[in-house]
Amino acid sequence: MRRCSRKAAVLILLGVLALSQAASADERRDGGFFTLLDDEGEAITMTARELDPGDRYIAADNRLFEVVQTEGDTVRVRYLETVVLPEIGEELLRAEVAQAAQASGVVGIYHTHNDESYVPTSGTESRDDGRGDVLRVGKALASALEAQGLTVHWSDNSHIPHDGQAYVRSRRTAVELLKEQPDTLIDVHRDATPPEVYEAEVNGEPVTKVRIVVGRQNQNREANLEYAKRLKAVADKLYPGIVEGIFDAKGNYNQDLGPKTILLEFGAHTNRLDHAEQAAEFFAKVIPAAAGLTTGSRQQAEEQIGGGASRSLLWTVLIAGGLGAAFLLIKQGRIGTLAGFFRREAGLAERDHDSDDEQ
């Protein structure tokens, strides 16, 4: 019994830590944005995402920068190196993409900030009812993935208001989607920058670029960063210019839930919805090969990204169960706080130990 009590306490503590990391503000809400400047004053990119020293950014040309200082709307970065992306067999990749319905696997899609919209299309950057334009982007991504033979579980659950607790609320949705055992779990967003940051043309079609975001405060960071690099590597081969870059940023973004758990930003509030939807349709061709859901990509993706999905799923279920039990006890008034729960568990452990000694 003592061992079980300690395990329960550890599981709940892990869950609480994950929730506390998820609950931090991740972006500006004042209508402004940040400009990343290198040592020579060159603008690398712009973003509404809150950045901290130590955060890193892989630009479209694969130059890696690290944040060294933030000064108002300016984020100072220094060049570290040029990243070598995972090797992708272009000939095999194009052959697989040309064949319809060759992918197999499960994809989960949801929206932490389901209120996000595109001003040129709907006249507002955010909808108070939570039915933002970004839902249509997620739906376009889901439909395009399904057309390739993948099973897609798309959630339009609402997590409003758009605040620092949104990731805590969306975590419940993410955990529900994990019950479907997805091969990859995607949180679809849009950014908030001037339109030119994300404007692009791919195969003669106007699209928004896509930004990939990895949270560096979770145990899956290395696997998810490799996944992000693989997404960019495949995209660079199929649709050059569609990826704006990769943020390896402070935060969790619920990516502790498993490897191949990623956040994608389709354009900004200043771009058009139909351009974001077109980008989603293109990016749906990228995801299967990057995630290892096509015949020719499975082994390579496994080697580059690494395993651990089943172990992560098990821990997720255990942590979620432990948290659920703790909060149920709190709601019932049997314990007042999580701290009280831990103290109570410690007391039970000691009594169990005494009972074992007496026997």
How far apart CA 141 and CA 283 sit, in angstroms, is 8
- Of the pLDDT bands very low, low, confident and very high (cuts 50, 70, 90), residue 257 is very high
* DSSP helix/strand/coil, 59: strand
Proportion of the chain above pLDDT 90, given as a percent: 67
Q: Which of 39-43, 71-75, 272-276, 310-314 has the lowest mean pLDDT?
A: 310-314
Quote the mean pLDDT of the chain. 83
Q: Tell me, what DSSP letter sits at residue 89?
A: -
Q: Per-residue pLDDT averaged across 146-154, rounded?
A: 96
pLDDT for 176: 98
Q: Is the pLDDT of residue 352 over 60?
A: no
At 89-119, the pLDDT tens digits run 776 676 666 665 567 899 999 999 999 999 9
Q: Is the pTM of this model over 0.75?
A: yes
User: Which whole number is the average pLDDT over 150-172?
Assistant: 96
Query: How would DSSP label each residue in 233-282?
Result: HHHHHHSTT-EEEEEEESS-TTGGG-TTEEEEEEEETTS-HHHHHHHHHH
Q: Could you report the per-residue pLDDT of 198-253, keeping only the tens digit for each? A: 999 999 999 999 999 999 988 999 999 999 999 999 999 999 999 999 999 999 99
Instruction: For residue 303, name the pLDDT band (cuts at 50, 70, 90).
Output: confident
Lookup: tokens for 159: 């997590």
Sign (positive or negative) of CA dihedral 140, 213, 41, 50: positive
Q: pLDDT tens digit string along 316-325?
A: 455 555 555 4
Distance CA 279, CA 303 (A): 28
Virtual torsion, Cα 248, 238, 184, 135, nearest 10 deg: 90
Report the pLDDT value the prediction gives residue 296, as an integer from 0 to 100: 73
